[in-house]
Amino acid sequence: MKVAARNSNLSRAQVLEIEKELGISLDPIFVETHGDQNLLKSLRDMDKTDFFTREVDALVLSKKARISIHAAKDLPDPLPEGLKCIYISDGVDPRDVLVLGPKPLEEIKIVGSSSDRRDEMVKAILPDVICKDIRGTIERRLEQLDEAQFDAVVMAEAALVRLGLTHRKRIYLEGETAALQGKLAILARCDDQIPIVKKPQSVHL
Protein backbone atom coordinates (compact mmCIF):
# COMPACT_ATOMS: atom_id res chain seq x y z
CA MET A 1 0.00 0.00 0.00
CA LYS A 2 1.35 3.40 -0.99
CA VAL A 3 1.82 5.67 2.03
CA ALA A 4 2.81 9.34 2.19
CA ALA A 5 4.93 10.68 5.03
CA ARG A 6 7.38 13.45 5.86
CA ASN A 7 10.97 13.06 4.72
CA SER A 8 12.86 12.61 7.99
CA ASN A 9 14.46 9.78 9.91
CA LEU A 10 11.76 10.13 12.55
CA SER A 11 8.99 9.81 9.96
CA ARG A 12 10.68 6.74 8.47
CA ALA A 13 10.72 5.17 11.92
CA GLN A 14 7.04 6.01 12.30
CA VAL A 15 6.17 4.23 9.05
CA LEU A 16 8.02 1.12 10.23
CA GLU A 17 6.17 1.34 13.56
CA ILE A 18 2.80 1.32 11.79
CA GLU A 19 3.88 -1.60 9.62
CA LYS A 20 4.77 -3.61 12.71
CA GLU A 21 1.73 -2.59 14.73
CA LEU A 22 -0.77 -3.40 11.99
CA GLY A 23 1.13 -6.24 10.33
CA ILE A 24 0.95 -4.64 6.88
CA SER A 25 3.47 -3.87 4.14
CA LEU A 26 3.80 -0.23 3.09
CA ASP A 27 5.43 1.42 0.08
CA PRO A 28 6.39 4.90 1.32
CA ILE A 29 6.63 8.19 -0.54
CA PHE A 30 8.59 10.70 1.54
CA VAL A 31 8.10 14.42 0.94
CA GLU A 32 9.33 17.62 2.54
CA THR A 33 6.54 19.80 3.89
CA HIS A 34 6.31 23.57 4.16
CA GLY A 35 6.99 23.16 7.88
CA ASP A 36 10.20 21.25 7.16
CA GLN A 37 11.45 23.91 4.78
CA ASN A 38 10.46 27.03 6.71
CA LEU A 39 12.69 26.89 9.80
CA LEU A 40 12.26 30.58 10.60
CA LYS A 41 8.59 30.33 11.53
CA SER A 42 7.98 30.09 15.27
CA LEU A 43 5.59 27.38 16.40
CA ARG A 44 4.55 29.25 19.54
CA ASP A 45 1.50 31.07 18.23
CA MET A 46 0.50 28.46 15.67
CA ASP A 47 -2.92 26.85 15.90
CA LYS A 48 -3.58 23.30 14.68
CA THR A 49 -2.82 24.05 11.03
CA ASP A 50 -1.51 21.88 8.19
CA PHE A 51 2.00 23.37 8.54
CA PHE A 52 3.58 19.90 8.78
CA THR A 53 0.97 17.87 6.89
CA ARG A 54 -0.18 19.75 3.78
CA GLU A 55 2.17 18.30 1.17
CA VAL A 56 1.89 14.80 2.62
CA ASP A 57 -1.91 14.79 2.53
CA ALA A 58 -1.93 16.27 -0.97
CA LEU A 59 -0.48 12.97 -2.18
CA VAL A 60 -3.45 11.13 -0.70
CA LEU A 61 -6.01 13.55 -2.12
CA SER A 62 -4.41 13.22 -5.57
CA LYS A 63 -4.46 9.40 -5.19
CA LYS A 64 -0.69 9.13 -5.53
CA ALA A 65 -0.76 7.51 -2.09
CA ARG A 66 -3.61 5.67 -0.41
CA ILE A 67 -2.88 6.73 3.17
CA SER A 68 -0.71 9.20 5.05
CA ILE A 69 1.04 8.75 8.39
CA HIS A 70 1.58 11.63 10.80
CA ALA A 71 2.55 12.29 14.37
CA ALA A 72 -0.98 12.54 15.72
CA LYS A 73 -0.20 15.79 17.56
CA ASP A 74 0.58 17.43 14.19
CA LEU A 75 -2.88 16.80 12.72
CA PRO A 76 -4.67 19.97 11.63
CA ASP A 77 -8.09 20.72 13.05
CA PRO A 78 -10.28 20.45 11.10
CA LEU A 79 -8.83 17.80 8.82
CA PRO A 80 -8.55 18.71 5.13
CA GLU A 81 -11.79 18.30 3.21
CA GLY A 82 -11.99 14.82 1.73
CA LEU A 83 -9.81 13.16 4.36
CA LYS A 84 -10.65 11.16 7.48
CA CYS A 85 -8.61 9.71 10.32
CA ILE A 86 -8.90 5.93 10.20
CA TYR A 87 -6.43 4.94 12.91
CA ILE A 88 -4.63 6.22 15.99
CA SER A 89 -1.72 4.04 17.11
CA ASP A 90 -1.02 2.64 20.55
CA GLY A 91 1.87 5.09 20.74
CA VAL A 92 4.93 5.33 22.97
CA ASP A 93 5.90 7.44 25.99
CA PRO A 94 4.00 10.75 25.66
CA ARG A 95 6.14 12.79 28.07
CA ASP A 96 8.34 15.78 27.30
CA VAL A 97 11.98 15.66 28.36
CA LEU A 98 14.77 18.15 28.89
CA VAL A 99 17.83 16.80 27.10
CA LEU A 100 21.01 18.01 28.78
CA GLY A 101 24.38 18.97 27.43
CA PRO A 102 27.63 18.78 29.40
CA LYS A 103 26.68 21.51 31.88
CA PRO A 104 25.24 20.47 35.25
CA LEU A 105 21.61 21.33 35.82
CA GLU A 106 22.40 24.31 38.08
CA GLU A 107 24.53 25.96 35.35
CA ILE A 108 21.93 25.79 32.56
CA LYS A 109 21.13 29.26 31.20
CA ILE A 110 19.73 28.81 27.65
CA VAL A 111 17.11 26.18 26.77
CA GLY A 112 15.84 25.39 23.28
CA SER A 113 12.06 25.08 23.25
CA SER A 114 9.22 25.32 20.74
CA SER A 115 6.16 26.31 22.78
CA ASP A 116 5.05 28.40 25.73
CA ARG A 117 3.69 25.21 27.30
CA ARG A 118 7.13 23.63 27.26
CA ASP A 119 8.68 26.86 28.55
CA GLU A 120 6.44 26.67 31.61
CA MET A 121 7.44 23.06 32.27
CA VAL A 122 11.11 24.01 32.15
CA LYS A 123 10.70 27.09 34.34
CA ALA A 124 8.93 25.00 36.97
CA ILE A 125 12.32 23.43 37.72
CA LEU A 126 14.66 26.12 36.35
CA PRO A 127 12.91 29.47 36.90
CA ASP A 128 15.84 31.65 35.83
CA VAL A 129 16.63 30.10 32.44
CA ILE A 130 16.00 31.80 29.09
CA CYS A 131 13.92 29.75 26.65
CA LYS A 132 14.64 30.36 22.97
CA ASP A 133 12.99 29.00 19.84
CA ILE A 134 14.49 25.90 18.31
CA ARG A 135 13.45 24.30 15.01
CA GLY A 136 14.59 21.49 12.74
CA THR A 137 14.76 17.72 12.91
CA ILE A 138 15.48 15.92 16.17
CA GLU A 139 19.02 15.26 14.96
CA ARG A 140 19.56 18.93 14.11
CA ARG A 141 18.27 20.04 17.51
CA LEU A 142 20.66 17.68 19.24
CA GLU A 143 23.49 18.98 17.04
CA GLN A 144 22.73 22.51 18.22
CA LEU A 145 22.87 21.24 21.80
CA ASP A 146 26.19 19.52 21.18
CA GLU A 147 27.52 22.66 19.50
CA ALA A 148 26.70 24.60 22.70
CA GLN A 149 24.13 26.84 21.02
CA PHE A 150 21.86 25.73 23.88
CA ASP A 151 22.59 24.29 27.31
CA ALA A 152 19.57 21.96 27.06
CA VAL A 153 16.68 21.32 24.67
CA VAL A 154 13.09 20.20 25.19
CA MET A 155 11.72 17.42 23.01
CA ALA A 156 9.28 14.54 23.06
CA GLU A 157 10.51 11.34 24.65
CA ALA A 158 8.68 9.49 21.87
CA ALA A 159 11.08 10.95 19.30
CA LEU A 160 14.11 9.75 21.24
CA VAL A 161 12.58 6.30 21.64
CA ARG A 162 11.79 5.95 17.94
CA LEU A 163 15.24 7.13 16.86
CA GLY A 164 17.14 4.98 19.35
CA LEU A 165 18.48 8.02 21.21
CA THR A 166 17.47 7.11 24.75
CA HIS A 167 21.14 7.05 25.77
CA ARG A 168 21.03 10.87 25.88
CA LYS A 169 21.08 12.33 29.39
CA ARG A 170 17.67 13.85 30.09
CA ILE A 171 15.13 14.84 32.72
CA TYR A 172 11.43 14.02 32.44
CA LEU A 173 9.31 17.14 32.69
CA GLU A 174 6.11 17.35 34.71
CA GLY A 175 3.00 18.86 33.17
CA GLU A 176 0.45 18.50 30.42
CA THR A 177 1.86 17.42 27.07
CA ALA A 178 0.44 18.12 23.61
CA ALA A 179 -2.75 16.23 22.80
CA LEU A 180 -2.01 12.79 21.28
CA GLN A 181 1.76 13.20 21.74
CA GLY A 182 3.54 9.89 21.22
CA LYS A 183 0.76 8.48 19.02
CA LEU A 184 0.63 8.15 15.24
CA ALA A 185 -2.33 8.86 12.97
CA ILE A 186 -3.34 7.37 9.63
CA LEU A 187 -5.41 9.48 7.23
CA ALA A 188 -7.24 8.27 4.13
CA ARG A 189 -9.72 9.67 1.63
CA CYS A 190 -13.30 9.72 2.86
CA ASP A 191 -14.43 7.74 -0.20
CA ASP A 192 -11.84 4.98 0.34
CA GLN A 193 -12.72 2.01 2.52
CA ILE A 194 -9.49 0.63 3.97
CA PRO A 195 -9.60 -2.39 6.30
CA ILE A 196 -7.51 -1.85 9.43
CA VAL A 197 -6.48 -4.83 11.54
CA LYS A 198 -6.96 -2.99 14.83
CA LYS A 199 -10.05 -1.05 15.80
CA PRO A 200 -9.39 2.73 15.74
CA GLN A 201 -9.37 4.55 19.06
CA SER A 202 -11.58 7.57 19.48
CA VAL A 203 -9.87 10.71 18.22
CA HIS A 204 -9.93 13.92 20.23
CA LEU A 205 -7.86 16.63 18.52
Contacts of 18 (CB under 8 A, 6+ apart): 3, 24, 26, 69, 89, 184, 186
How confident is the prediction for the chain on average, in pLDDT?
A: 91
pLDDT of 114-165, one tens digit each? Answer: 899 999 999 999 999 999 999 999 999 999 999 999 999 999 999 999 999 9
Instruction: Please give the domain boundaries of the chain with CATH numbers for all domains.
Output: 2-91+183-189 (3.40.190.10), 96-172 (3.40.190.10)
Q: Specify the pLDDT at position 36.
A: 75
Q: Give the helix ranges, DSSP H, for the chain.
A: 9-22, 34-37, 54-61, 116-123, 138-146, 157-162
Residue 4 clears pLDDT 90, i.e. is over it: yes
